[in-house]
Structure 1
Amino acid sequence: MEIVIIGGIAAGMSAAAKASRTNKDANITVIEKEKYISFGACGLPYYLGEEFADENEMFARTPEQMEKTGINLLLEHEATNIDFNKKIITVTDLQTGESFEKAYDRLMLATGAQPIVPPIPGIDADNAYTITKLDSVNRLKKALTSYKKIMVVGGGFIGVEVADQLVKLGKDVTLLEAGPEIMSGPFDSEFSQKLKGALEEDDICVCTNEAAEEFVQTDGQITAVKTAKGQYEVDAVIIAIGFRPNTKFYADNFKTLSNGAIIIDQHGQTSIKDVFAAGDCASIPNRLLGDTYTALATSANKMGRIVGTNIGLPESEWESFVGSLGSSAIKAGQYEAASTGLTEKQAISKGLNIKTTCIETNNHSNYYTVQEKIMIKLVYDAETFVLYGAQLFGKNETVLRATGLTTAIHAGMTTKELGFVDFAYAPPFASTWEAINVAANTAK
């Protein structure tokens, strides 16, 4: 069996590694534009912020390691055309410019996503950066000593993480968000406001309801950012306003979401037989929402593993993905936050009959040092009390509690059950009534 995987970063290499173990007789080829594979871009903000120094820490596997398992790697190669009827891929060697054809029996698309770079005047300057590729971040790291005032455009995960890291390096950071709130995708308003306050507590200037309209250049460098409200002097700009699935050259052949992400089923198969997809180029089956676009490394790796299992086996032996909950976490200044399942606004948009509870309670017993408040919000069915979603905000010991809440949502537990779950207790870690118990018991 000829298996071809286009894309060798997260989902693609997870699939290749699993497929090589599942079907040892398959001939597996991975086509990747970069010089490397298995790169964890989630580490880039922390590499930029000098949380660690060795860039190799962000690579889960080396090409040599994968080739030893029998996987054929075509690095610095690009799939430029796919004939889905004849099952033939046109591949171009990016070093020589030469092209050749590669046939497949089964194909996986793992082409990822690309950062959205809006057509704002002046954005093409050398001191405008995106935080998705190692080369770009290394270029920024080398120039950082000459930058003092840095504007981060975009209040999502990457924007918040980068702003958080840059201020630790002594930079004067402004975070610009066109919408009314930062982190508005995974969090409801009260948590977005808490995260904004956490950044401001660390002297990051957070400007919401304000969009960049022009990047003013002087001698080819951005020196100011104009908005409808004024002008900001800057030494550099970081663009972090989101991602677009990298599916443009083949998306017309498939059923897709509105943003171009390829829709897959619970087996990872697309609307074309023998063609699979996973990662940031594809949808992800969500346990509560159905087909969604969730550009998270956890989803990419899990769905990649499912595809790797199925792509080399007969259909009767395929495994199904259990479904995502879109669980995520973020650190902002001295605080941390997590979200899992449905937010209140998602539940309302889905037409669910819900109630919510939002409380502050202690992280552990009052007689143990450094007691902190944890804010917990639960979204649950108004009649059955089945838990649909949860959000948390606080300092130490906050985000890991999301693990218990994710498990409860996955299992379809009610708040009444959750209120009496026997969580582990000792004064340094919890109170006799664990914070999750307390929140669940306020659901009425």
Structure 2
Amino acid sequence: MNIVIIGGNHAGIAAAIRIREEHPKDEVIVFEKKDEVTFVSQTIPLFLMGYQNIHSQANYATPEEIINQGINLKIQTEVISIDAKKKMVFYRGENDKIPRYLYYDRLIMATGSYPNLPPTGGKLNETLFLLKERKDAESIENFISEAHQAVVVGAGLVGVEIARILAQRDINVTLIQSNHRILDKYLDEGSALEVEKQLEKEGVTLLLGTRVDSYHTIDKKIWSRPRIDVFTSNGKIISADGVFMSVGFRPNSFLLAGQVETGDRGAIIVDKYMYTSDPSILAIGDCSTTYMDLTKENIYNPHASDAFRQGLIAAINCHEKKKEIMFTTGTYKFNMDGFTIANTGITLNQAKKFGYDAEEVHYQNRYLARKGNSGYESTGTYYHKAENISKDYSSIYLIYEKKTLKILGLQVLGTVDISQYVNIISLAIQKGVTVPEVEFTDFFFEHGYKNPLGFTKILAALVRKKERECES
């Protein structure tokens, strides 16, 4: 079988490698318009924080390594059109004067996404910045070395992360969010407030419930850079050296426009086997929809973890439909250099919106520290609601359905990383596990702690207490 994959990042490469394993006689051709594959955009914040080298640690595979696995990888080659009826792909290489074409038996779309970019008055990677590609990282590093003020538009995961990095690099940062809370798609009000306090503590100015109406580059320069004036919905004008746009992504589904069914935000609709409405075409990663069982929706949810899973499932099913993909739980871990945010499932607000009789319990730890030669060191001991012990803490929110005690979501944050509980609860959600079942699951004994029960048992106790209070 002749299988063509368009896109050489997470989903496309995962599919290509697994097809080679599952169907070693197939011809696998991967088209990638850039000169690299498997670029990890999550490396950009780590690079800006000084933890990773964007040139040597941002890819987990080189083109040569992919080719050596028997995959016909065509880099710097752009697919310019698709004729789904004739099963033809038209493409142009870097040195091609006219387009070429080939036929496929199966086509796997792994074309990814592109950032939302409202009309602006800025020049990309000079006064307007995104966090998507290697060139973006290099431009931002240059910006940080000479800038003094920045505006970040959008307080999702990427916006919060870049705002904090800029503040740590001594840039005066204003973070603008149209919603009245940051991270509103991931956190409920209590956990969002904790993150907001952390950001303000670190010097980030928050403008919540505020939209950016427009911004313009002014001829007059501040220091060595062009001046930017940002106009907001509440009448404020903010001067800055640059604007960072972080208002989400859109699926790159144009090549199949009008040839397959599309849904949320124009993403290609796929079934549980990753097939589109065309029986010869599959779609994976950020260009396709994802099914979320908790909300009974086929949604657009661009996420690296889902991209890998979908690539593997598409490879297994490329000859015939054999294996269904497990639904997504929306699981994220987000490291902000000493402050961790992680979540899975849905928020309490989302649960109520979709008809659940839901409730939330919250547990927060302050960590004991002892003074040593080099200052305070954590002992690993934690105390519930202890005061003035140390600045380190962790906070955990559990969302559940009241009648069934089914687990719906978990939000974890704080200066101490306990994000491993998010993976545990993600599996629990996929399997429909209840709070009592998690409480009595055999996890290792957490010795050395003031309360050795572990978070799952502590949260279960809080659920029982809340339910008894509701009954009385």
Q: TM-score range by the shorter chain?
A: over 0.9
Aligned runs of 1:204-243 on 2, under 5 Å? 204-219=204-219, 221-228=226-233, 229-243=235-249
Opposite residue 210 of structure 1, the aligned amino acid is: T
**Alignment correspondent of 1:186:** 186
Give how far 1:122 is off.
Answer: 4.3
Asked if 1:158 corresponds to 2:162, the answer is no
Q: Distance in 2 between matches of 1:250 and 1:81?
A: 8
In the alignment, does 2:415 pair up with 1:411? no
Counterpart AA for 1:431: N
Other structure's SS at 2:132 match = coil
- Percent identity, aligned pairs only, is 25
Output the aligned Cα RMSD. 2.3
Partner residue in 2 for 1:322: 326
Distance 1:396 1:240, change over 3 A: same
Q: Which residue does the alignment assign to 2:347?
A: 343
Number of positions where the alignment pairs a residue of Structure 1 with one of Structure 2: 441
User: Mapping of 1:351-430 within 5 angstroms?
Assistant: 351-361=355-365, 365-366=381-382, 372-428=392-448
> Deviation of residue 338 (structure 1)?
1.5
In structure 1, distance between residues paired with 2:397 and 2:159: 24
Gaps of 5+ in 2: 221-225, 368-379, 384-388, 468-472
Residues 1:3 and 1:125: Cα distance change in structure 2 (over 3 Å): closer
How far apart in 2 are the matches of 1:117 and 1:328? Answer: 24
Question: Partner letter of residue 331 of structure 1?
Answer: N
Aligned to 1:171: 171
Work out the CA distance in 1 between the residues paired with 2:430 and 2:459. Answer: 18
Tell me the amino acid that sits aligned with residue 239 of structure 1. Answer: M
Instruction: Return closer, same or farther for 1:271/1:222 CA change in 2, 3 Å cut-off.
Output: farther
Partner residue, 1:293: 300
- Residues 13 and 301 of structure 1: is their aligned pair in 2 closer, same or farther, counting only changes over 3 Å? same
Report the AA paired with residue 268 of structure 1. Answer: M
Rounded Cα–Cα distance in structure 1 between residues aligned with 2:449 and 2:36: 41
Write the distance in 2 (CA, Å) between the matches of 1:186 and 1:251: 30
Distance 1:226 1:75, change over 3 A: same
- 1:5 match: secondary structure: strand
Contact 1:109 1:277 in 2 (8 A): yes
Structure 1 gaps of 5+ residues are none
Instruction: Supply the AA of the counterpart residue of 1:299.
Output: D
8 Å contact from structure 2 (residues 268, 288) kept in 1: yes
Scaled by the length of structure 2, the TM-score of the pair is 0.88
Q: Deviations over 1:172-220 (max 9, x none)?
A: 2221112212111111122222111111111111211122222231239
Distance 1:325 1:253, change over 3 A: same
* Distance apart, 1:384 and its partner CA: 1.2
What's the TM-score, normalizing by structure 1? 0.93
The answer to whether the 8 A contact 1:344-1:379 is kept is yes
Q: Which moves more between the two structures, 402-411 or 97-106?
A: 402-411
Alpha-carbon distance in 2 for matches of 1:294, 1:374:
27
Q: Tell me the CA shift for residue 167 of structure 1.
A: 2.0
Q: Which moved more, 1:380-389 or 1:106-115?
A: 380-389
Matches within 5 A, 1:18-97: 18-97=18-97
Q: Deviations over 1:297-354 (max 9, x none)?
A: 111111111112222x334xx2221221001122346432221112112212221232
In structure 2, C-alpha distance between the alignment counterparts of 1:194 and 1:332, rounded to whole Å: 14
1:279 correspondence with 2:279 = no
